[in-house]
Amino acid sequence: MLGGDCRDLIAQVRRDLEAGLQRREVRQEIERLRETYPVFGRYGSIEELAALVRPSNPAYGGKDAALGALLAEIKRKTTLFPLLNLIFWDSLMSIFQRKRRDCPNPADLFSRIQAEFFEVAATYPLDRRPRKINLNLYLDTWKKVTAWQREEAQYHGQHKPLGPEHELGVVAADVQESEVFPEDFEPYFRELVLRNVITQAQCDLLLETAVYGRLSEKEWAKARGVKYATVRSWRHRAEKAIRKHEGEKRRRRDQDVLD
């Protein structure tokens, strides 16, 4: 049986996602979806969309049309992720129920599933895998969670916690220097995604919390249904990757001068 803390976590994440749909920006994006993609006119509610994408539903054309449209929009901007998460909720809970028997901490497992699904959705290659999207999302998330479980089993207890600067959501000083981030942040971050320096999710996180300041890290995590500790980890890794990338650029420039 699930402990009370885990049940509370699952219920809270569900409530946060549902509340996220009520944000004005999200409502506007959903309305634009309905105007742009006919499939969202035919399946107007979350319940209808969730029934559409279930594995038992043979309507693959409708599934791929709905999920493909959502993934395309999420690649542009992750505002609609709560909608995708709720539509795919039953499949994510299926992963959780199947995996939790091998996990000593079900709450951590559930949070990890949410985080991995966000990353899978944000980076899904629609151009290469436009069909059976619901199955691909499920299997990709399953594989990532399985890899995490293996790492946890092998290295349990050896992971160092993030430092206090990340507990407080403070950006490291060297990341704030102008030599690291150019003035035009958004194109710069988009380029880093294309170069595989950071992920699409990390790009959105940095833009929304650090550049535009629309949301705090806690608000961003809550709106996307991702555990706050995971969001702090994503930001920490993004900052580290950017510092490494910029350091390599400087070394190449210095080498060119010497040559």
Task: Give mean pLDDT, residues 125-136.
Answer: 90
Given a cut of 60, is residue 115 above it in pLDDT?
yes
> Tokens representing 239?
């900052």
Task: Give mean pLDDT, residues 117-134.
Answer: 91
pLDDT in tens, 20-55: 899 899 999 999 999 999 999 899 899 999 999 988
Q: What is the Cα 118 distance to its own chain's centre?
A: 3
Task: Give mean pLDDT, residues 112-117.
Answer: 90
Closest CA to 186 of 166, 167, 214, 165: 214
Is 176:219 a contact under the CB 8 Å cutoff?
A: no
pLDDT in tens, 95-108: 998 888 767 788 88
Number of H helices, E strands in the chain: 15, 0
Given a cut of 80, is residue 179 above it in pLDDT?
no
* Tokens 């895998």 belong to residue: 129
pLDDT more than 90, % of the chain: 28
Half-sphere exposure of 145 (CA within 13 A, CB side): 29
Give the domain ranges of the chain: 4-155, 164-258
Which of 178-187, 200-209, 230-239, 247-256 is predicted least confidently? 178-187
Task: Give mean pLDDT, residues 225-250.
Answer: 86
Give 208's DSSP letter: I
pLDDT more than 70, % of the chain: 85
pLDDT at 184: 58
pLDDT at 195: 85
